[in-house]
Structure 1
């Protein structure tokens, strides 16, 4: 009998896969796109994410534990599905690899200015490969270990409470130049990763509180994001936030310890665990889709193809500005897929149910 994933581990996986380097620029993004008290947008986006997860839950209940692929392929020809599979592979693989490249470029800028980013990215890809070939159960277990290694980091925000001033938040709501649709895409892009719950359905017990753990994990991530944004608004103020590329890193830079110099560099290193899990889960989903196209290919060969192809593509994004522009469009496509796929699955399940009745 195949091992099932415990909801306890799912909760921690949701936090690890959703939180990443996007958190470093999130306070500026909320200020830039939503104006004063833009941190409230995190609550709005968190609600949208919960609605999306609710669609996944409907698929879970209606499909009775069947996988996404079993549902689609029992009603639609594979010949018709392959273009959709190819598009999903393109979007998810590029999103995952560019999020990894974003971390590498930031890491190089902070600690290894003279090291070419493709060298750092190569070591990152090697770690990815050896974790990916271990399978989803070991990936989930690794994410649990990484969760405990990084779970203390949100509590560092307590250090800044002495300099926090409520008047810096201002009494005004969403005032200033705003672009809310673009902002929602950016914030939801920072919370991507929850879609893995749709693909974990065959790996959990049928009547376990699986989706409760998914929702709680996502809400916990949103809470961490909200706290970081509120502290940033109250610590820096709205005007200063607009001029900071990575406000969270600046918050870390204010933390001084007598026995550690440049403590912010050490904290940034811990984020590699979060980025690893985010990218690994993206590649695992891509592996599932590739496995439906290349049914006779060995899983390790598919993983190697994914890692190699995305490594080559990621080298074309050689600056943070170019990478951010690419990610913005990928986020929009990724979010659209997160809503489109469950809606299509619900329609197919309704058709299948009617056919069973007749």
Structure 2
């Protein structure tokens, strides 16, 4: 019997958690990040990043298929022994906690920049950690239910994007490939960082009720993220000139700023206020991963005390850490560098090591 059977998530919840973790904060700045290097050919890099992310996602599923009853932290101890396994688990815990922290402080910066510039950081931190804690203190099943609720936001986003199609210049996209192949390939790094979140399949897999559909689910989640990234990027490229888009830190919000309805103004503020739920759904899975890792590392059952410690550290840090625009960009890049190793390099290493490990065990039994 699966020891996580009391806390399982459906395939739909599995898909929603993964793609909402991916989309999160990246969709707000991705068009500018791509335009800086590849110009309006940046949309091609999204497709290449999607293919690469899909391949690594399937490798993760292959690793977990051979060990369906284990979380990543349990698997590392099984593969590498107690000391090495726990050391690798600590690195994963630090990575997940850092990712959650980056998104939290970036969210506070964006909200201050666009909505309430005069408010103190610690006040926003209190307002944000309360709902984040209330969801994360429960098990993954509740997080999956919350992910289903948050998914209701995206049809509304698609409707708003539709209103921006007026006075677009599709000629900005032509000629395709004008920047050359080198800028397009070099920009793939920005896109693969936007797809970060699929590595949490390591954590979600043991809780998935229908494990045979894990590969299908992760393909769907990556594909939904790709469609959202591609749509927002292309619309931004045809709405703003190639030079203009580089002047906006968050082109998606500037895009929504152009939406004017007879009964509503400042649509970007309304959107961002609701989009907070999606930003929370980037924070929550990483935060849960860090808390789960610590509890399993110390053999505990309850992860709420760990969450309370992290919440207190976030709250205290909000009194002296006030990230500027450059600092937000820098910590985001640091997360991206760490993500390359944990989401793209580590699964390949673990897949090869796992193949050798199971092959050796099989030979020993003969």
Return the alpha-carbon distance in structure 2 between the equivalents of residues 298 and 5 of structure 1. 19
Instruction: Provide structure 1 residue ranges, at least 5 long, that are not aligned to the other structure.
Output: none
Partner of 1:98: 102
Partner of 2:363: 357
**2:331 corresponds to 1:338:** no
Q: TM-score, normalised by structure 2?
A: 0.90
**2:247 corresponds to 1:243:** yes
**2:272 corresponds to 1:275:** no
Within 5 Å, which residues of 2 pair with 1:39-54?
39-54=43-58
Q: Using the TM superposition, name which of 338-347 and 172-181 deviates more.
A: 172-181
Deviation (angstroms), 1:297: 7.1
Cα displacement string for residues 9-35 of structure 1 (whole angstroms, at most 9, x for unaligned residues): 222222211112221211111100222
- Flag the 1:177–1:3 CA change in 2: closer, same or farther, 3 A: closer
Return the alpha-carbon distance in structure 2 between the equivalents of residues 25 and 231 of structure 1. 13
**2:228 corresponds to 1:224:** yes
**2:97 corresponds to 1:71:** no
Paired residue secondary structure (1:214): helix
Report if aligned partners of 1:186, 1:328 keep a CA contact under 8 Å in 2. no
Q: Using the TM superposition, name which of 244-253 and 55-64 deviates more.
A: 55-64
Deviation (angstroms), 1:142: 0.5
Paired residue secondary structure (2:8): coil
**2:354 corresponds to 1:348:** yes
**2:262 corresponds to 1:262:** no
Partner of 2:130: 126
Partner of 1:170: 174
Paired residue secondary structure (1:91): helix
Partner of 2:196: 192
Report if aligned partners of 1:91, 1:333 keep a CA contact under 8 Å in 2. yes
Cα displacement string for residues 185-242 of structure 1 (whole angstroms, at most 9, x for unaligned residues): 3332222111111211211235431221121111111111101111111111212112
Deviation (angstroms), 1:50: 0.5
Return the alpha-carbon distance in structure 1 between the equivalents of residues 122 and 189 of structure 2. 28
Partner of 2:313: 309
Number of positions where the alignment pairs a residue of Structure 1 with one of Structure 2: 358
Q: Using the TM superposition, name which of 175-184 and 270-279 deviates more.
A: 175-184
Cα displacement string for residues 64-105 of structure 1 (whole angstroms, at most 9, x for unaligned residues): 443323332123222223332222222221121111211211
Q: Using the TM superposition, name which of 243-252 and 82-91 deviates more.
A: 82-91
Instruction: Provide structure 2 residue ranges, at least 5 long, that are not aligned to the other structure.
Output: none
Return the alpha-carbon distance in structure 2 between the equivalents of residues 147 and 303 of structure 1. 25
Return the alpha-carbon distance in structure 2 between the equivalents of residues 83 and 179 of structure 1. 38
Cα displacement string for residues 257-294 of structure 1 (whole angstroms, at most 9, x for unaligned residues): 11112222101111111110110100111112212322
Q: Using the TM superposition, name which of 304-313 and 144-153 deviates more.
A: 304-313
Partner of 2:159: 155
Return the alpha-carbon distance in structure 2 between the equivalents of residues 349 and 228 of structure 1. 40
Q: Using the TM superposition, name which of 178-187 and 142-151 deviates more.
A: 178-187
Report if aligned partners of 2:17, 2:144 keep a CA contact under 8 Å in 1. yes
Q: TM-score, normalised by structure 1?
A: 0.92
Deviation (angstroms), 1:311: 4.3
- Flag the 1:199–1:111 CA change in 2: closer, same or farther, 3 A: same
Return the alpha-carbon distance in structure 1 between the equivalents of residues 183 and 128 of structure 2. 35
Q: Using the TM superposition, name which of 1-10 and 182-191 deviates more.
A: 182-191
Within 5 Å, which residues of 2 pair with 1:11-26?
11-26=15-30
CA RMSD of aligned residues (A): 2.3
Q: Using the TM superposition, name which of 289-298 and 240-249 deviates more.
A: 289-298
Report if aligned partners of 2:256, 2:267 keep a CA contact under 8 Å in 1. yes
